[in-house]
Amino acid sequence: DTADLLDHAVAGFLRQHNISAIEAMSYDEKRCLINTVEERGLFRIRGTVNRLADMLNVSRASIYNYRASLKNGDTSGADDCQ
């Protein structure tokens, strides 16, 4: 199931960055997660923006803004995404 791909990516990100819960994520951590989802090509899957917005408790517009800032070269805070 395609939703499982996103769930797996988010869970892996949380583990990798030692984040206990999505609710505890900072702005920069959310940007890193968006970057990770982008790099994995998961935004090509229909419904990813809506699902990720629900998971992060932000609007769809916020997801698009995160993506736009990363695409426009604003990597402040996203440098530590490894």
Give per-residue pLDDT as tens, 23-76.
999 999 999 999 999 999 999 999 999 999 999 999 999 999 999 999 887 656
pLDDT surpasses 70 at 82: no
Given this model, what pLDDT does residue 74 score?
A: 66
Whether residue 77 has pLDDT greater than 70 = no
Q: Are 25 and 33 in contact (CB under 8 A)?
A: yes
> Which residue bears the tokens 């800032």?
69
What does the pLDDT read at residue 80? 59
CA–CA gap between residue 2 and residue 30 (Å, rounded): 21
